[in-house]
Structure formats: C-alpha cells, structure tokens
Amino acid sequence: MAERRQIIADCRAVLHDLHTVGHQCPSNQLAELVGDLAELVAFGTAQIAAVVADAEQRGVIESSQCASTTQWVAQNGWHVRRDAYTIAKAAKLLRRPELADIADSVLTADVDLGTAVVVGTEFDKLAPDLLDQAKPVILAQMLDVGAECGPSGVRKLKQELLARYGQDGEFEKHQQRCRRQIDLSPGRETSPGVWDYRLTTDNEGRSVLEAAIGPLSAPRDEHGNPSGPRDERPAGRRRGEALIDALRRSVTATDPNTGTATGTPKAVLMLTLDYETPASPVRRRPGSGHPGRRCAAGR
C-alpha cells in the first residue's frame, strides 16, 4: 500500500502541471490523451467508492462526527463533494454480495458510478417481481445497456425486462401501480404571472398527451405555416403552447352575446355497416316508408 500511495502522489504531481506541456502533444494524439485522462478519472472515482465501502465496513464513518456517509465523503474528499451522494450510494452497492457484477463493472471502469447507482436502484425495484433464475441474466443485461447507453437506457429497459422475465401477471400489476402514481400539482407561482406545474403520468397517459400535443408542437411560423420561416421558439415552449391550445380546443366555449356554443365539437364516432344489420330489427308497417330511412332519421 505504501508503494501505491507513493505512485498516487507522483501521479498527482504529474497531473498538477500537465497543462504546461500540453502544447507538446501532437494534434493527432489529443483525443487519445483525453481518453487516457478520462480513464484515470473513472478508475479514481471507482477506487474512492471502494475505499468508502471499506470505511463503512470497518465502522470508521459510524465512529466519526459525520452524520452520514455522504457528509464523510464531502468532508474528506472535497474535490468530489458534488458527487459525494453518488459515491456513498455506490459504496453501499459494492458491499452487497448479490450485486457483485455491479461491483466488478465499477472497479474495472466499465460503467461510471452514476450508471451503477441507477442499475442498482432499478434492479432493486424489479427484483421482487422477477423469477429467481432470471435475476442474474437481467442484471447482466442492465449493465450492458448501462455501459452502452448510460442511465437513461437502463430506465427504458426496465419495463421490457419485467414483461419478458417477470412472474405471471406482474407486468400488469406494475402498470396498475404506475397508473396510481398519476399526479398533477396545483401549480406554483414562481414569479409574477408565471406558474409552474408538475405532471407525472403512466405510459397510457403519456401516449394520450403526446398524441394531443405532438402535431400542434411542430415548428411553424407566426401564421401557423409549417413551411414558413424558421420557428425560433424553443421545444419546451412549443410543447407548452401546444398543450394549452389542445385544452382550449377541448373546452366548449360560449358566446357571451348569444349564449350559443362556439367551441370545437366533441369527437364523432363513424361506423360503417351493411344494410341488413340496421334494417333487420325494424318491422315494416304500412305507410312507414323504407326502413332504412327510419334508421337514417334516428342517427
């Protein structure tokens, strides 16, 4: 350990003024230099998590004056204080034998700490609903996706894995749980005249929302022409205005002068039937005319 700490000190000295000789690196090797430094950072943060896990195991953190592992990391490694929470979470993962594959991926720098934490969190959510024999396979797949696509890819993979490897009926139960989490905040005025809303929805709700605002949020000019000059509105503003427009269209407005409805009519369901289907239950009586006409008149 003493020898390795001396090497770490030497590396620190080298990195301290590396920028002063950076101009000596050929242009075609700059990308490689960035890769080497990034790998050093990855191994360094992984080993920080390993040391923190060891400190937890030995009771060093518990016997300290720090209220949590995150605080201990921030106090003793202030250079990574912004990542202290992630490091603390990763350290806990490294201590769990059933998540040894995550530990291996972290310590070999195959995944970064943030991705490893997301993998562990999402796997813990899935585990109760999975078949025991499927758990190692799923953890390996999540790590592969994490290494390739990062945390967002891991989160997207969750439902597919549950549908494929979950116990019978668990995917449907999961969807029901998601549906119960639909929530819309009452709105908070963040500045005069500006309101902030928070919406949480499930897959079905998202599909309905995107179907409503997707076409309306396409870039357009001030006259609503999609092929006109470039739309300078950011995507978030376009989507917000599209949502308000969709809601405005769905509400039937009343003319204050006439009292008549002037809003967009409600949806109409059109059915195509053969003649015999609507005509068969109608008894033809003298003078009643063609039964088909009675059906048409009763639409």
User: Residue 86 — very low, low, confident or very high, per pLDDT cuts 50/70/90?
Assistant: very high
Give the DSSP H/E element, type plus range, for residue 117: helix 113-126
**What local confidence, expressed as pLDDT, does residue 188 receive?**
86
Instruction: Give yes or no for residue 288 having a pLDDT over 80.
Output: no
Please tell me the pTM assigned to this model.
0.57
Contacts of 187 (CB under 8 A, 6+ apart): 195, 196, 197
User: Residue 45 — very low, low, confident or very high, per pLDDT cuts 50/70/90?
Assistant: very high
Using alpha carbons only, give the angle 23, 25, 31 rounded to the nearest 5 degrees: 115
Task: Please compute the mean of the pLDDT values over residues 194-221 and round it to a whole number.
Answer: 83
Q: How many residues does the chain have?
A: 299
d(CA 226, CA 220): 4
User: Residue 170 — very low, low, confident or very high, per pLDDT cuts 50/70/90?
Assistant: low
Instruction: Give yes or no for residue 22 having a pLDDT over 90.
Output: no
Instruction: Give yes or no for residue 228 having a pLDDT over 90.
Output: no
Which of the given ranges, 46-60, 164-178, 216-230, has the highest pLDDT on average?
46-60
Using alpha carbons only, give the angle 278, 283, 289 rounded to the nearest 5 degrees: 85
**What local confidence, expressed as pLDDT, does residue 291 receive?**
45
